[in-house]
Chains A and B, each alone.
Chain A
């Protein structure tokens, strides 16, 4: 029962975004200006400019080692950029730490899954809800009424979030013993629990079979529609990228070589060259 999805139907994005023709008056959620980072002498990312609309699903693609994950790490301040600025919802993120960035509205998943393996699935989601249902440590130790109230709320919220991927039944399983695909989905749920306005997915379909990938595509769109958030994803599975991404940004050797819709990207000779190499002159 695949849900009918019209690409970009409800997506207002500003004119400077990847897809310029959908011009509406809302401010962008993310704006990177001349972003760059050096590791020693290596320019891992250079002059990275990107604007993301509030409910845009965008793809970040490129050959291995192009710097895609580095861009994610820059956005979440795992690395601090050498050059350039990142504006999140119009606010400068310079000097912020990773937890602060999350509270400002960026949530992410990881290429190599990083779950809290010894904790249950539900606890993993509850940890994502850490800043959503707050109470002090003393409230927790003495089990004041607020503790019970907030715990009940986060329990219900956790199950609700898990139901996006039909994972309520696994709530008590330790996260580390879940099958691979379920671990990937749990990471997304955990990220969503932090109530982000921008979701970064690092290779969400890695290791999934075609039917799982198809389901994931529907779910990413469903998440965007329900939560009204922007999604930026890194993915090597072109069926997924071309299928759901409204805007695509191609990275090679740390630089953007092309931006546009899936049709434009597929026809772009520079992109083809980056992936397949140059045609030998006869």
Chain B
């Protein structure tokens, strides 16, 4: 145990786990005690979803070193497939938490598959080109779900594109109604489920990073040519990071969608992708704890700034800029280094 503690990365991951557990316990007890505003209470699940989005994108951007601007696309895939599964299984699995888990797994699997298919052409590209293609991918997913009709009746699932040609029987139900999205969702997502999802994702990411595969992924990020020269298959490991990240985003999408009564494709647009990227950059590339804090704070901030009414988003932007400037100032970094021993060497992770 002592030896484990000496390891910097292990120590860092324990701190992150501890932080998440502590935050959960505090928030849960405040909520149980009734001391939480209902607006904040309603944001607990979205915060969890965004935290998972941020740490999963951090796996691609920070650990794997590829700029992806279409992360909301995977969230969208997860949201629609996961919610469809939840509705379709409503009678088969009456137990809500179990249905939620199954729905998230379905969302993750579909998003992972889409991630794999997208990854085949996309991961051949580098830098800006990859960013542009992933951006386009996010938009494509959005238009597909805006034009997708899925219905279910006694005969099973019916799928059609562009217009509603599902021809459902009497007892049938149209699940995805094109631009109207999915309505009448049972809100089965809970804060506890979100908390567990965060822990699972952290567990996967930390253990991956500290394994042979994670080292290969980081080697490719640091120096692609050298990584190839020591026998690492670049495509395989880039794909691994991309697919795992997509699957996590899918699960986050399911969680997010099952917290609302309706979900529409336009919710997962370019702005959402950029928002998640802001969380990642804000929290520090490769820094999971930073991503978690950034995602939580920046999700709550617009709500907290409601008092400023019209100038809300302006203040939000100014806060963003100021924090960016502050965290990048060498003087503040030096101060932090003095206050927190061991902080200086950790700075190299960024």
State the Cβ distance, B59 to closest chain A Cβ, in Å: 12
State the Cβ distance, B283 to closest chain A Cβ, in Å: 17
Question: In this assembly, does B321 line the interface, its C-beta being within 8 Å of a C-beta of chain A?
Answer: no
State the Cβ distance, B226 to closest chain A Cβ, in Å: 4
Among residues of B, the one whose C-beta sits closest to the C-beta of A77 is B228
Q: Are A137 and B229 in contact (CB under 8 A)?
A: no
Q: Are A140 and B226 in contact (CB under 8 A)?
A: no
Q: Are A107 and B230 in contact (CB under 8 A)?
A: yes
Neighbouring A residues of B232 by C-beta, 8 Å: 99, 127, 130
Q: Are B222 and A137 in contact (CB under 8 A)?
A: no
Q: Are B225 and A130 in contact (CB under 8 A)?
A: no
Please, how many angstroms separate the alpha-carbon atoms of A137 and B247 in the complex? 15
B93-145 with Cβ < 8 A to chain A: none
Interface size on A, residues (CB 8 A): 44
Q: Are B219 and A78 in contact (CB under 8 A)?
A: no
* Of the residues B208, B210, B215, contact of A130 by C-beta under 8 Å: B215
Q: Are B349 and A130 in contact (CB under 8 A)?
A: no
The digit string for A174-188, where 1 denotes a CB below 8 A from any CB of B, is 101100000000000
Question: In this assembly, does A194 line the interface, its C-beta being within 8 Å of a C-beta of chain B?
Answer: yes
Question: In this assembly, does B214 line the interface, its C-beta being within 8 Å of a C-beta of chain A?
Answer: yes
The digit string for B197-211, where 1 denotes a CB below 8 A from any CB of A, is 000000110011011
The number of residue pairs between A and B whose CB atoms lie closer than 8 Å in the complex comes to 104
Question: In this assembly, does B329 line the interface, its C-beta being within 8 Å of a C-beta of chain A?
Answer: no
Among residues of B, the one whose C-beta sits closest to the C-beta of A78 is B225
Known: A137-B213, A140-B213. A76 touches B231 (CB 8 A): no
* Of the residues A118, A130, A139, contact of B231 by C-beta under 8 Å: A130
Q: Are A126 and B230 in contact (CB under 8 A)?
A: no
State the Cβ distance, A245 to closest chain B Cβ, in Å: 23
Interface size on B, residues (CB 8 A): 31
Among residues of B, the one whose C-beta sits closest to the C-beta of A173 is B345
* Of the residues B208, B218, B225, B348, contact of A114 by C-beta under 8 Å: B225
Among residues of B, the one whose C-beta sits closest to the C-beta of A140 is B211
Q: Which of B219, B226, B229 is the most central at the interface, judged by chain A CB atoms within 10 Å of its CB?
A: B229
Question: In this assembly, does A191 line the interface, its C-beta being within 8 Å of a C-beta of chain B?
Answer: yes
A172-223 with Cβ < 8 A to chain B: 172, 174, 176-177, 190-191, 193-194
Known: A117-B222, A137-B213. A107 touches B208 (CB 8 A): no
Q: Are A118 and B222 in contact (CB under 8 A)?
A: yes
Please, how many angstroms separate the alpha-carbon atoms of A135 and B240 in the complex? 15
Question: In this assembly, does A108 line the interface, its C-beta being within 8 Å of a C-beta of chain B?
Answer: yes
* Of the residues A110, A131, A137, contact of B226 by C-beta under 8 Å: A110
Neighbouring A residues of B215 by C-beta, 8 Å: 119, 123, 126-127, 130
Please, how many angstroms separate the alpha-carbon atoms of A118 and B350 in the complex? 9
A4-36 with Cβ < 8 A to chain B: none
15 more A-B contacts (CB under 8 A) besides A110-B225, A127-B216, A140-B212?
A: A98-B228, A99-B233, A100-B231, A102-B228, A102-B231, A107-B230, A108-B229, A114-B226, A127-B219, A130-B215, A140-B213, A141-B207, A176-B348, A194-B230, A194-B231
Residues of A within 8 A of B (CB): 76, 78, 97-100, 102-103, 107-108, 110, 114-119, 123, 126-128, 130-131, 133-135, 137, 139-143, 147, 150-151, 154, 172, 174, 176-177, 190-191, 193-194
Query: Could you list 25 examples of A-B contacts with CB < 8 Å?
Result: A78-B225, A99-B232, A102-B231, A107-B229, A110-B225, A115-B226, A116-B226, A118-B222, A118-B349, A123-B215, A127-B230, A130-B212, A130-B215, A130-B231, A130-B232, A133-B212, A134-B212, A137-B211, A137-B212, A139-B211, A141-B208, A143-B207, A172-B8, A174-B348, A191-B229
Residues of B within 8 A of A (CB): 8, 203-204, 207-208, 210-216, 218-219, 221-223, 225-234, 240, 345, 348-349
